Homo-oligomer: A and B are copies of this chain.
């Protein structure tokens, strides 16, 4: 039973680690958004990919969800002494990832190859797949002008209202062979509870991805990142609102209409069940907030059973 999960950062990483816990090693492929990748001091940084990697490797910082546990910041403090801006909190261990990756990519390896090397070295025995080996950059239109994603997300603390989104490079980028194979070879596809616009959105926007998803007859299930009208983490709620979407599990379901067969929503949103079923999706109502490893595994397990049950019917 091969599972393919599409994920962004922290929320996606949590469900991916739950899936890892409940499927046999090697049966999970996680396709990760790379549209928020950026360069800092000439180092190539892939925030979502690293968040998922550190989480699957069991070394992520449980307080933040991103970064490495027990991290230190000696390099960053020294860079600050050299007069550099240090709004992006680059830890010493995390830096090794970027140094290694940047060097290998300059030497001709693809991001996919480098990611396999890094995640393998960290003991991750499932496939961690960047959505593309070509650069895509999320640029946000705001009242303050156009902002690069990390500028908006980290530097400015997501305080700007997002009026529009451009995925720069998306037309020229291609999903990797590995991504296409993971999607077309999956027995179930899970859209993790990540931001539908800037995390799952770029993966779906890659040329060919919607077509291969549409042509797949396996169960496709999305877990809502909106619970009780709010994003559990990050600016998804405000972003959905300012872009004209309804900020609810139903709103997310509408964005995935025609693509997924089932939505997993939280108990707090149970009253939205009928509305989502009205869009033509099946609905699983459960505890969807992942507070610990047990929550992750349970939600992953329930999500997979939900998908399997849809096939049986």
Contact = CB atoms under 8 A, between A and B. Distances in A.
Contacts of A96: 74-79, 81-82
Interface in A93-147: 93, 95-97, 99-100, 102-103, 106, 117-118, 121-122
Contacts of A42: 99, 102-103, 106
Interface residues of A, number: 30
Q: Is the interface of A mostly helix, strand, loop or mixed?
A: helix
A270 interface: no
Interface in A76-91: 76-79, 81-84, 91
Contact of A41 (B41, B72, B84, B99): B99
Contacts of A177: none
Contact of A92 (B41, B92, B103): B92
A43 interface: yes
A42 B44 CA distance: 12
Contact of A72 (B81, B92, B99, B118): B92
Given A81-B122, A82-B118, A121-B83, A41 B75 contact: no
A179 to B, nearest CB: 23
Contacts of A74: 71-72, 74, 91-93, 96
Contacts of A95: 75, 78, 95, 99
A96 B82 CA distance: 8
A121 B41 contact: no
27 contacts: A41-B103, A42-B99, A42-B106, A43-B99, A72-B72, A72-B74, A74-B96, A75-B75, A75-B92, A75-B95, A75-B96, A76-B96, A77-B93, A78-B93, A78-B95, A78-B96, A79-B96, A79-B99, A79-B100, A81-B122, A82-B96, A82-B97, A82-B117, A82-B121, A83-B121, A92-B92, A95-B99
